[in-house]
Chains A and B, each alone.
Chain A
């Protein structure tokens, strides 16, 4: 593996408070302060004039469908899509088939990751056995097997008592508990946000109150137990407000916002396009603005994609019957730049922070910085590059994206993981 000398980039590393035009040096897979003159001559030089060099992006919420649903995505294809999106570390949800509720399945995933992944893929385990919400999964064994968090994502633990015991028990292992906040009793058969648009379309609505109730529950449990609970893909204004207040009191709660919840509203469903069907659903303009405000003031800690691949034939059907979820790894940075920097005047380093240092910090991952000695995970992107996204030409096995055919400004050029170029100008290396 050659040493790398990235020249003339705008280096943005919020973790080490760096934002300057300069060079980055990589030796033996690590960031180094400099390279001796002789080593520089041998190093592979990358001319990064006009590009931003930031830590490899970190996504703590993706679905790679392996084992069991490899027709939608595999660790191989998912990790390539991630690399193309500038990500070098992603955290996989455990709602595979079978679900990852035991150390054996985690080991299977780790073997596949070692064999097939081009970036760092980290597994999570289930909170409950079979993700059925009835009995605690072997959380300690899952931790020993290598999970970085536990979650029943896709589902939500409905029993308050079981959730309380889960966070108490996981706290013993310093293991974050991530929760998909959804009161099932209020969302039976629901396929979109409840409101004037669902009334108009005749589709069953998923009221934001069903998220808010579980967010409130989790805030109370976090406060009661002192455990860290991470709230996944927050979609409602009311929830953002509750989280803000809880954080103000010092509760150990954290939360994420997705690119689609910050960019889209339920008005996009007017044509029953299933590429806009997701859970939690995209909501109103008021909710969308609240997600952006939450990302601005730190109420929402990070951006996560909830990359959820489904095949074309699964999505190509009646809206009621199509599965929830959209892919997002290859568009996350572009959407975030458009919405946060372009439309809402975020500073570029703030967006980089939301996609690097902060998600890594939440789950104590060794990622998200360009500090000397850190793993050489780097994303080089051109913030001015105008491009058209073709979901069918992407690296994900699926193409269920609401952004297909859209023009964006800002594109990942090169992704480096542990000092190795894994993605460069449209190609996986």
Chain B
């Protein structure tokens, strides 16, 4: 099936077939990453701009790395030293980038909906690298890609997402991908951070960690942000850890083959104990590596590449 999308804005709008196409393309690119020359010429001559208007380490580096592995030229936009600090609007910034002959923009922005807004203004493809609390589609794709590597089909698998769901774009993208792939998703955390409104998205909401973790095959932790405490959304980090932190005892409630995931950055000792974050069930660093392959797939497909043309050879 050919790839028709120009932009990658949300996983909500992607079909299961499209998600699988990206996964398959990512799998092909992942094989190229194991070669002695870890570079393919797919985007040679193209220029990709990483327009990151919010701090990021791994997502930005993974997009950088992915573009370079595809032989594209990459320009990373530094918000702190840009005209946005002089009050330039997002429209003007983006139109200037386009006028500078960029071929694709990867945008991270604190405001939900910004990538959709840009996609309407620009003639070049836009990839969403995280928009406020809305979506982070490549993270959802790399997370589900990693789950599939460990569990095979996700149909009927129980996946628990634990932590600050309300403000998490990672949670939303994972919910869309996982429900389309047939997984049973349970969201867990304090009621202030996991409101029941999420049940409209076809998932379970629970505040009882033990019953939620029972037999889960994936537990994905989300970072607890300190400012939520200041805003009165939960009493203290200590209280959070004592009620919802993942420790060895609680991890024993999981299915024996379960994997532990985290999109990072991790608050060690808050949402997860170090021994679990670094333990054998943890796939946290695999997620990071898979992030390159998935982003290569996203950049490649949105640039007009077709899945069947990815032919990594030694």
Contact B198–A199 (Cβ < 8 Å): yes
- Give bound CA distance, A320 to B90, whole Å: 12
Of chain A, the residue at the smallest CB distance from B165 is A199
Do A272 and B113 touch across chains, with their CB atoms under 8 A apart?
yes
- Decide: A316 near B91, CB < 8 A? Known: A202-B131, A272-B117: yes
Tell me whether A313 and B200 are in contact in the complex, defined as CB-CB below 8 angstroms, given that A199-B166, A202-B132, A320-B110 are known contacts: no
Chain A residues 368 to 386 lying within 8 A of chain B, measured CB to CB, are: none
Establish whether residues B197 and A196, one from each chain, have CB atoms under 8 Å apart when the complex forms. yes
A321 CB-CB contact with B under 8 Å: yes
Asked whether A195 is an interface residue with its Cβ less than 8 Å from the other chain, the reply is yes
Q: Are A321 and B111 in contact (CB under 8 A)?
A: yes
User: What number of A residues sit within 8 Å (CB to CB) of B?
Assistant: 19
Nearest A residue to B118, CB-CB: A318
Q: In the complex, which residues 88-121 of chain B have their Cβ closer than 8 Å to any Cβ of chain A?
A: 89-91, 109-114, 116-117
Establish whether residues A320 and B132, one from each chain, have CB atoms under 8 Å apart when the complex forms: yes
A343 interface hit (Cβ, 8 Å): no
User: Contacts A316-B91, A317-B91, A320-B132; is A202 near B197 (CB within 8 Å)?
Assistant: no
Q: In the bound complex, how far is the Cα of B111 from the Cα of A320, in angstroms? A: 6
How many residue pairs at the A-B interface have CB separations less than 8 Å? 59
Which B residues, 160 to 212, have Cβ-Cβ distances below 8 Å to chain A?
A: 166, 169, 172, 195, 197-198, 200-201
Question: Bound state CA distance, A172 and B122, in angstroms?
Answer: 59
Bound Cα distance A318, B198 (Å)? 24
**B231 — nearest CB in chain A belongs to which residue?**
A188
Please state if B116 and A272 are interface contacts (CB–CB under 8 Å). yes
- The answer to whether B271 has its CB under 8 Å from any CB of chain A is no
A159 within 8 A of B: no
- B133 interface residue, CB < 8 Å from A? yes
0/1 per residue, A184-209, Cβ < 8 Å to B? 00001000000110111111100000
Kindly state the interface size class of chain B when it binds its partner: 20 to 34
Contacting residues, chain B, for A196 (C-beta < 8 A)? 197, 200
Q: Using an 8 Å CB-CB cutoff, how does the interface string of B222-233 with A read, 1 for contact, 0 for none? A: 000000000100
Of A188, A195, A199, A203, which is within 8 A of B132 by CB?
A: A203
By beta carbon, the residue of chain A nearest B167 is: A202
Contacting B at CB under 8 A, from A314-358, are 316-321
A320-B114 Cα distance, complex, nearest whole Å? 9
**In contact, B201 and A318 (Cβ under 8 angstroms):** no
Distance in Å from the Cβ of A281 to the closest Cβ of chain B? 15
Query: Is B143 in contact with chain A by the CB < 8 A criterion?
Result: no
With both beta carbons as reference points, the residue of chain A lying nearest to B112 in the complex is identified as A202
**Is the pair B166, A201 in contact by a Cβ cutoff of 8 Å?**
no
Taking the closest CB of chain B, its distance from the CB of A206, in whole angstroms, is: 14
Beta-carbon contact of B195 and A318 below 8 Å: no
Q: Which residues of A contact B197 (CB under 8 A)?
A: 195-196, 198-199
B91 engages A272 (CB within 8 Å): no
B217 at the interface (CB under 8 A from A): no
What is the 8 Å Cβ interface bit string for chain B, positions 121-155, against chain A (1 contact, 0 not)? 00000000001111100000000000000000000
Contact (Cβ within 8 A) B109 A318: yes
Chain B residue with the shortest CB-CB distance to A313: B89
> Given A320-B110, A320-B111, A321-B111, does the pair A199, B200 have CB atoms closer than 8 Å?
yes
**Nearest CB to that of B131 among chain A residues?**
A202
Partner of B112, one of A195, A203, A313: A203
From residue A201, how far is it (CB to closest CB) to chain B in Å?
A: 6
One of B111, B166, B169 near A319 (C-beta < 8 A): B111
Does the CB pair A318–B111 fall under 8 Å? yes
Chain B CB count within 10 A is highest, among A195, A201, A202, for A202
CB closest residue in chain A, given B113: A272
- For B172, the chain A residues whose CB sits under 8 A away are 200, 202
Task: Give CA–CA (A195, B195) in the complex, Å.
Answer: 9
User: Which of A188, A202, A316 makes the CB contact (< 8 A) with B134?
Assistant: A202
| Among A199, A313, A318, contact of B113 (Cβ-Cβ < 8 Å) | A318
Bound complex: CA A107 to CA B195 (Å): 51
Q: A272-B116, A320-B132 are in contact. Are A202 and B89 (CB under 8 A)?
A: no
B1-19: CB near A (< 8 Å → 1, else 0) gives 0000000000010000000
Q: Complex: how many Å from CA A198 to CA B90?
A: 23
Q: A318-B111, A318-B117 are in contact. Are A202 and B135 (CB under 8 A)?
A: yes
Contact partners of A195 in chain B: CB under 8 A: 197
Known A195-B197, A317-B91, A318-B90: A201·B112 in contact at CB below 8 Å = yes
Would you give the shortest CB distance from A191 to chain B, in whole angstroms? Answer: 9
Please indicate the chain A residues that have their CB under 8 angstroms from the CB of B200 in the complex.
Answer: 196, 199-200
Question: B195, A199: Cβ atoms under 8 Å?
Answer: yes
Q: How far is the CA of A321 from the CA of B198 in the complex (A)?
A: 25
Q: In the assembled complex, which residues on chain A have CB atoms less than 8 Å from the CB atom of B117?
A: 272, 317-319
Chain B minimum-CB-distance residue to A318: B111
List A residues 405-420 near B (Cβ within 8 Å).
none
CA distance A273 to B7 in the complex (A): 19
Q: Mark B219-256, 1 if CB is under 8 A from A, else 0.
A: 00000000000010000000000000000000000000
Q: List residues of chain A with CB within 8 A of the CB of B116.
A: 271-272
Residue of A nearest to B198 (CB): A199
> Nearest chain A CB to B201's CB is how many angstroms away?
7
Which of B111, B113, B200 gathers the greatest number of chain A CB atoms within 10 Å? B113
Contact A319 B113 (CB under 8 A): yes
Given contacts A313-B89, A317-B91, contact A202 B110 (CB under 8 A): no
> Chain B residue with minimal CB distance to A188?
B231
What is the bound-complex CA distance between A219 and B303, given in angstroms? Answer: 59
Q: Which residues of B contact A316 (CB under 8 A)?
A: 89, 91
Q: What are the residues of chain B within 8 A of A319 when measuring CB–CB?
A: 111-113, 117
State in angstroms the CA–CA spacing of A316 and B113 once bound together: 12
Residues 28-72 of chain B, each 1 if its beta carbon lies under 8 Å from chain A, else 0: 000000000000000000000000000000000000000000000
Complex Cα spacing A212 to B172, Å: 30
Q: How far is the CB of A286 from chain B (nearest CB, A)?
A: 15
What are the 6 tightest A-B residue pairs by CB atom distance, in nearest-first order? A202-B134, A272-B113, A202-B133, A318-B111, A320-B111, A202-B112
Please list 10 pairs of residues, one from A and one from B, whose beta carbons are closer than 8 Å in the complex, sorted by A's number.
A196-B197, A199-B200, A200-B12, A203-B132, A317-B89, A317-B90, A318-B109, A318-B117, A319-B112, A320-B132
Apart from A196-B197, A318-B90, A319-B112, what are 14 other A-B pairs with CB-CB below 8 Å?
A195-B197, A198-B197, A199-B166, A199-B195, A199-B197, A201-B112, A203-B132, A313-B89, A316-B89, A317-B89, A317-B90, A318-B109, A318-B117, A321-B111
Binding site for B on A (CB under 8 A): 188, 195-196, 198-204, 271-272, 313, 316-321
Which B positions have Cβ atoms within 8 angstroms of A? 12, 89-91, 109-114, 116-117, 131-135, 166, 169, 172, 195, 197-198, 200-201, 231
